[in-house]
Structure 1
């Protein structure tokens, strides 16, 4: 039987989870506030391409919306790997989670500049994501190999 003990260092993993959640909430709040500026009514998620060509604010709104949606698309798997990998590797997991967060911030800054291609400056955030997946995979391997 394999057991996990939460050490005080796991607090760093939990802290990064809180920061990550606040970051996603911030992205959502920006979508909400820019929706009013761009005059994109609910329930529409995005402005149409023709609207974006006619009104730059609508393009910027779409960029805010895409940052939020893209972040949400991978957020559940990121959180699962962060929290699980943190059980055995709390400092490494917190560091990798911080890289993911920082990558998301740069992704946000680039994308919402109005030049969607500038989002690529946040691509380094995938290092955090892949690293967390690797640590979680290592834990899975160790658990399977610990069987008699």
Structure 2
């Protein structure tokens, strides 16, 4: 049985929000690279040691930038998946939430890199709430599609 999917006219917003994540990832890579260079942490070390980071603010900032990037990549697949699924029925909402998620990740990273774990807090809330709403909207969309015309 074939399923024909017709994308809503506004699905371009979803695609724009999805593409924005590519550039947020570039931002993370550049930020982490700059912090690595400033700290002097050599490859292949993923982080500065705890002892070094406690004594060297540049090493600490590198660890924060690296952790922010890791957290972004941990959430990237669910975010993109949720955007693409939720956008099938709610493209404007999915695009807006996806864009908000991407933007909040930039400010999350800046806050984390400059202010340590406490510097990320307010944008962590924005990021988490936008992603949770995207996931719930995606789940609702999936249920709607799965059970369309069955009841």
Q: Is the CA contact 1:59–1:114 (under 8 Å) kept in the aligned structure 2? A: no
* Counterpart contact for 1:2–1:146, Cα < 8 Å: no
TM-score (norm: length of structure 2): 0.90
2:23 match: 22
Aligned match for 1:133, one of 111, 135, 139: 135
Task: Show the counterpart of 2:49.
Answer: 48
Contact kept? 1:99, 1:127, Cα under 8 Å: no
CA distance in 2, matches of 1:136, 1:3: 19
> Alpha-carbon deviation of 1:59?
0.3
Quick one: distance in 1 between partners of 2:133 and 2:81? 13
Aligned to 2:39: 38
Pairwise CA RMSD:
1.7
Matched, 1:114 2:131: no
The answer (yes or no) to whether the contact 2:13–2:95 under 8 Å persists in 1 is: yes
Cα offset for 1:18? 1.1
Structure 1 runs (4+) deviating above 6 angstroms are none
What TM-score, normalized by structure 1, do the two folds share?
0.91
Residue in structure 2 matched with residue 101 of structure 1 by the alignment: 102
Please say if residues 13 and 92 of structure 2, whose CA atoms lie closer than 8 Å, have aligned partners that are also in contact.
yes
Report how many aligned residue pairs link the two structures: 148
Q: Distance in 1 between matches of 2:7 and 2:144?
A: 18
The answer for unaligned runs of 5 or more in structure 2 is none
Q: Is the 8 A contact 1:31 1:65 kept in 2?
A: yes
1:87 equivalent in alignment to 2:88: yes
Gaps spanning 5+ residues in structure 1: where?
none
Distance 1:145 1:76, change over 3 A: same
Q: Judge conservation of contact 2:8–2:89 (CA < 8 Å) in 1.
A: no
Is the 8 Å Cα contact of residues 103 and 126 (structure 1) preserved in structure 2?
no
Preserved contact between residue 85 and residue 142 of structure 2 (Cα < 8 Å): no
